[in-house]
Structure 1
Amino acid sequence: MRLTNVTHLRLPFGRLWGYDVSTSALGRRLPVSFDQRLHVGAGDRPGSWMALSFRLPAPTSRDSIADAWLAVIARHGTLRTAFAPGAEGDPELHAIEIGSGHWVEHEVGSGQAVNDALREVLDAACAPFRRPSHRLCVLETAAGLTVVIAADHAHVDMWSMLVIARDLLSALDEVRSGATPMLTTAPAFVEHTQALLDRDAAPDHVRQRWEDIIADSGGVMPRFPLPLGPAELHRERVEVRDVFDVDDAAAFAAQARGDGVSTLARAVVSMTAVTLELADAPLRAVFPVHSRFQDDWHDSVGWFITNSVLESEVAEPHAAAAAVREAVQLGAWPLADVLAPWGGMPVAPGMFAISWLDLRRLPVRIDSVGLDAHYVSAATDTDGVMLWFILDESGLHLRCRYPDTSEARANVGGWLDLLVARLQADARSSAPGRGYQTAPVGLPQHF
């Protein structure tokens, strides 16, 4: 399943509907996670959400979709919470009650792209302090219905979006059979937040390693090692690169197995080599890791992602594997306590983050091909570099967001060019005999 951007999402022209649920006043106070506090503390703003789109395989009434959506909300506690500004500047999280509502048509203006109309709806409805900060939309055309589910990032991660889509489709099946959808309640994300708050503090060696990496990064979280232009927010430039088809992905995985490491570690080898060559510096990046440490959380919705740091100095498989293991271990401790000496996460312009998502290994699946499903990111301004790798049954693609400056175009683009070429060369060297007289490697899609 591809990760795309709302400005590039291919949507058919039709009538755009949004479902407005009814909500109660703010209820009891709930614990706030470290990452939620950082994200929501930045205030209401456009582009703070993530979404998933898919096409329904059978004719379905909007009322049926609404009934299914309400069942999903009833299943997942985080969808029944809302943030409010706190008295001392820290955001507060409260329980709310959500009930049935009504459909509202959002007019697509004359000359306006459907994508832009959808973006306006989601920017307004899914801001951090909205109540609720999620939205179900339907695009109605003669050819069928496209569903878009979006939520502020404080309540979801990419794994969660799959859970929401799966549960909505399951509830729809019940509605079509004439039953009232009754989904069992999943463990709520606030329980996970409280469990982390109750954990022991990180040991001294973990604190020291965080301190070393931050010191090596100039006292802040790791930054992209090449110039990006003026250190301020710029309009984003987004590139999507098709790295491997299914055969190349299999060959690359076989090479990793032969080295005795994971596919991710083998990719880290390539990123390390490229960074050393172009920047004469080790690969050092923020590295999100999931915190669903127990199977109990696999069917829950929430922000089960914590940030770690990845530092790889040697372009060798076992060294890269050790760097990945260390990053997972560094991210396994409550960060509020670890980062307290810096007053929280010491973010600076140019921050570099790398995310790896192997959809084949997730315990949650939907028929992404049959549903034409896509992850959808918001459009936003940025001063850093964010790189996502998405690996599924069709192969590997990457998506990269960076400031749209001449320096970043040259330096990030050049880094991506060399990385994709190296990854493809590595895969093809392990599968001799295939015919590779194809298009030039690494051609980007810009949007």
Structure 2
Amino acid sequence: MHVTSIDRYLVEPGVVTEWSVTSNSVADSPLPPSYNQRFHLDTARTHGVGRSVWMAAAFDLPGTLDRPALERALRYFIRRHDTLQTGFHADSAGIRRVGLDPEHVELRSSTPLAVDTAAGLRDHLRQRFTEVCDPLTFPAYTFATIERDSHYTVVSAFDHTLVDGYSLVIALGELRRIYESCQAGVEPDPALHVELGDPGSFLRYCRQEAEAPVTDVADPRVREWARFYSRCGGTAPSFPLDLGVEAGVPAPQGADVRPLLDAAGTERFEQICLDSGGSLFTGVLTAMGSAIHEISGSRRMPLQFPLHTRRNPQWANALGWLTTSAPLTVEISTDGDFQASLANTHASFRTALTLGGVSMAQVGKALGDGYRRTRTDVFMVSYIDYRRLPGTDDHEMLNAHHVSNVTVADDAQFWISRTNRGLALRSRFPDTPVARATVESFLTTLRRFLESICERGVTPVADPTRALRLDEAPVV
């Protein structure tokens, strides 16, 4: 799956149809938002413009679109996942969750619209997805098709309150399989539910989080978070280079998408990291810290990284925002040695993984005034190895894309993705002159550092078995 942003999405022009959800059975729900949802909704209410942090999955299929089959497939898909049956409304009384009866889901297709340029199509999709996938409206998702003479594209767009990056992979695979089943018959094959597996329940996940016991500040996991935030000044970490923006005052968002290493280079760098007792992810983080050190002289780079919370089989096939966050600090050695620095990073990473049993909601309640939010965004680095996710073998053939909206930002965030093409990086940052120059310098230095490590190699450590393999690495 190619990870990109809407301003960089290379989509072929065609005839666009939007498929939106309607229902005459919508009611309030007493279930509160999850921690992640609350964070996102509070940001949306505070900043208004640019609040639709939607993400979309897109894939291509050959031939002619079977409209009746797609409509049946979408209805089946929505009834299968309860995150698509819920959303939020905001009024003077606050934010409340609402839900629809899955048995009363209907789909309305728009009048087909011919768009003859790629730029025009990108602008149209961005405008429509931003309008519909608003976290404070319901339902905050939609679907679109783009038809051409020989092939067509299916796009599913969701506000972030409803899904995470892992969900997009699930959605793409399921929609394609359900659609194929609907093409073969008037209704999906009854065996399809067994084939797709238990869809889980994101609402149950939210309920379990809400009912989780309060964690005491004496809990060693909370103490680790407290130490981390204390070293960051009592708040979340920020990108350590100047971005030319005031904390808490977001600017229009800038975006960058670029390859870091090709397939061979990625294999080479991964092996170097494993031989050094680290992993590909902690190796790239160390390279990032080294780039920061080269530019600014700073040897410390604290950050947060997301971890999916799908270890329990009941969430394996669920759509939803099933992630938590973990703290990590990259410490560059005094002599700048990559292996020594990687050892520091990997040790911090392993410590972070031990905190997985406590949720961010529990951490927040335990710390209370010990943590204050100063920025809209958090400096974070995400990593997904798409090759290891189920149902991704044919993503290249499907021209599969993960497309994110471009909104506003007051900090930098990075998404590392690995596919059969190699290693790539999507960056999100404030679109200021200072930030554009800073991020370009950082990314150029990072890529040069990675290539340099691949060229010169390192001496294997005595005990590389302490390395964390990629199938255990963070995935969101």
- TM-score, normalized by length of structure 2? 0.84
The 5 A counterparts of 1:395-406 are 395-406=422-433
How much does 1:89 deviate? 2.6
Tell me which residue corresponds to 1:444.
none
Q: Aligned partners of 1:188, 1:175: CA distance in 2, in Å?
A: 24
Match of 2:353 among 315, 325, 328: 328
CA contact 2:88–2:95 (8 Å) conserved in 1: no
Q: Aligned partners of 2:115, 2:185: CA distance in 1, in Å?
A: 37
* Larger deviation, residues 174-183 vs 385-394: 174-183
Tell me which residue corresponds to 1:438.
none
Q: What is the letter of the counterpart of residue 277 of structure 1?
A: E
Match of 2:108 among 102, 106, 127: 102
Match of 1:130 among 115, 118, 137: 137
- Mapped pair 1:193 → 2:211: no
How much does 1:406 deviate? 1.9
CA contact 2:387–2:393 (8 Å) conserved in 1: no
How much does 1:332 deviate? 3.8
3-state SS in 2 of match to 1:384: coil
> Aligned pair in 2 of structure 1 residues 312, 210: CA closer, same or farther (>3 Å)?
same
* Larger deviation, residues 228-237 vs 357-366: 357-366
- Mapped pair 1:217 → 2:232: yes
Match of 1:230 among 245, 250, 266: 245
- Mapped pair 1:174 → 2:181: yes
Tell me which residue corresponds to 1:436.
none
The 5 A counterparts of 1:298-377 are 298-314=316-332, 316-340=341-365, 341-342=368-369, 346-348=373-375, 351-365=378-392, 367-377=394-404
> Aligned pair in 2 of structure 1 residues 30, 95: CA closer, same or farther (>3 Å)?
farther
* Larger deviation, residues 83-92 vs 130-139: 83-92
> Aligned pair in 2 of structure 1 residues 106, 236: CA closer, same or farther (>3 Å)?
farther
Q: Aligned partners of 1:351, 1:234: CA distance in 2, in Å?
A: 15
CA contact 2:289–2:330 (8 Å) conserved in 1: yes
- Mapped pair 1:277 → 2:300: no
How much does 1:274 deviate? 2.2
3-state SS in 1 of match to 2:395: coil
Tell me which residue corresponds to 2:421.
394
3-state SS in 2 of match to 1:227: coil
How much does 1:290 deviate? 1.1
3-state SS in 1 of match to 2:416: strand
Deviations 1:19-65 (A, max 9, x none): 12222222543342101111123236543210011111342312211
How much does 1:417 deviate? 1.4
Deviations 1:416-438 (A, max 9, x none): 1111111122123339xxxxxxx
> Aligned pair in 2 of structure 1 residues 95, 347: CA closer, same or farther (>3 Å)?
farther
Tell me which residue corresponds to 1:265.
282
Q: Aligned partners of 1:105, 1:243: CA distance in 2, in Å?
A: 41
Q: Aligned partners of 1:96, 1:427: CA distance in 2, in Å?
A: 55
Q: Aligned partners of 1:290, 1:412: CA distance in 2, in Å?
A: 27
Q: What is the letter of the counterpart of residue 56 of structure 1?
A: L
Superposed CA RMSD: 2.4
Tell me which residue corresponds to 1:116.
123
> Aligned pair in 2 of structure 1 residues 117, 282: CA closer, same or farther (>3 Å)?
same
Count residues in correspondence. Answer: 432
Q: What is the letter of the counterpart of residue 101 of structure 1?
A: L
Tell me which residue corresponds to 1:82.
87
Q: What is the letter of the counterpart of residue 380 of structure 2?
A: A
3-state SS in 2 of match to 1:322: helix
3-state SS in 1 of match to 2:254: strand
> Aligned pair in 2 of structure 1 residues 109, 11: CA closer, same or farther (>3 Å)?
closer
> Aligned pair in 2 of structure 1 residues 99, 28: CA closer, same or farther (>3 Å)?
same
Tell me which residue corresponds to 2:256.
239
Q: What is the letter of the counterpart of residue 72 of structure 1?
A: F
- TM-score, normalized by length of structure 1? 0.89
Q: Aligned partners of 2:268, 2:320: CA distance in 1, in Å?
A: 35
Match of 2:169 among 143, 162, 180: 162
Higher helix share: 2
Deviations 1:258-278 (A, max 9, x none): 123221122222122222333
Q: Aligned partners of 1:29, 1:366: CA distance in 2, in Å?
A: 41
CA contact 2:234–2:370 (8 Å) conserved in 1: no
Tell me which residue corresponds to 1:250.
267
CA contact 1:108–1:114 (8 Å) conserved in 2: no
> Aligned pair in 2 of structure 1 residues 29, 96: CA closer, same or farther (>3 Å)?
farther
Match of 2:223 among 208, 218, 226: 208
CA contact 1:310–1:324 (8 Å) conserved in 2: yes
How much does 1:96 deviate? 4.2
Identity of aligned residues (%): 27
CA contact 1:27–1:96 (8 Å) conserved in 2: no
> Aligned pair in 2 of structure 1 residues 236, 28: CA closer, same or farther (>3 Å)?
closer
3-state SS in 1 of match to 2:260: strand
> Aligned pair in 2 of structure 1 residues 349, 8: CA closer, same or farther (>3 Å)?
same
